[in-house]
Amino acid sequence: MLRRLYDWVMSLAASRHAPVSLFAISFAESSFFPVPPDVMLAPMVLAKPDKAWRYAALCTLASVLGGILGYGIGFFFHDAAQKLLAVLGKPNALADAECWYRHWGSWVIIAKGFTPIPFKLVTITSGLLQFSFPIFIAACVVTRAARFFLVAFVVKKFGPAMMPVIEKRLALFAGLLIALLVIGLTASHFLGGSGGGACAG
């Protein structure tokens, strides 16, 4: 089923309604849809490189608005949000996120929003934990803009040859960011003499 959805999203990229479809997919992916907008963004940039930044901005705006919906699902519909996380294969996401947010706050959103990890997991759990809404919005803008503008830049500059490695590079950059964050915070805990164990998983 996921493959059929992927092929359907790819077909939308070639349609005359591609920008509207890109907005809709980017919005939905932040709260419930399983296919990332990069699938549409990349071929659209390849087809019209002069509109690369416009498409990336559209993706960012829609993703942040969709993130607000995901946050609202978690904030206002606790039980439904828990069931949705279970359907997405992350029944323990709330317990894991509680530890991450307690230690690293908005950096969790920035790091995870940059990776291939479904962004809906971040937005819904942020709402469930009632994380600061203004900080949530700011972190969403930073991480989604960084991701989509990077994808647009790579595809615009290097073309189809770079397509197979984009997601791997995103994961690598995010992994380095998380590693640096953990090292920095571990050092600050050590130097400051404060407690706080590591998060599991």
What digits encode the pLDDT tens for the residues 133-191?
999 999 999 999 988 998 899 888 887 666 566 556 555 655 555 555 555 444 444 43
Q: Give CA separation, 195 vs 2, 105, 135, 198, in Å.
A: 43, 16, 25, 10
What's the confidence (pLDDT) of residue 48? 85
Residue 48 CA from chain centroid, whole number? 24
Which position has the token pair 């791997």?
168
Q: How many domains does the chain have?
A: 1
Give residue-wise pLDDT tens across range 59-110.
999 999 999 999 999 999 988 888 877 776 666 666 667 777 776 777 778 7
Mean pLDDT of 35-61: 89
Specify if 22 maps to a domain: yes
Report which of residues 31 and 141 the model is more confident about: 141
Please, are residues 112 and 175 in contact by the beta-carbon 8 Å criterion?
no
Structure token digits, residue 165: 């490695």
195 φ, ψ (degrees, to nearest 5): -85, -150
pLDDT tops 90 at residue 12: no
pLDDT at 126 over 70: yes
| Structural domain boundaries, residue 72 | 13-192
Read off the tokens for 177: 């960011």
Does 79 reside within a domain? yes
Read off the DSSP letter of residue 77. -
Give a yes or no: residue 197 inside a domain: no
pLDDT number for residue 83: 80
201 belongs to a structural domain = no
> What is the band of 5 on the pLDDT scale with cuts at 50, 70, 90?
low
Q: What is the DSSP letter of 198?
A: P
CA 139 to chain centre: 11
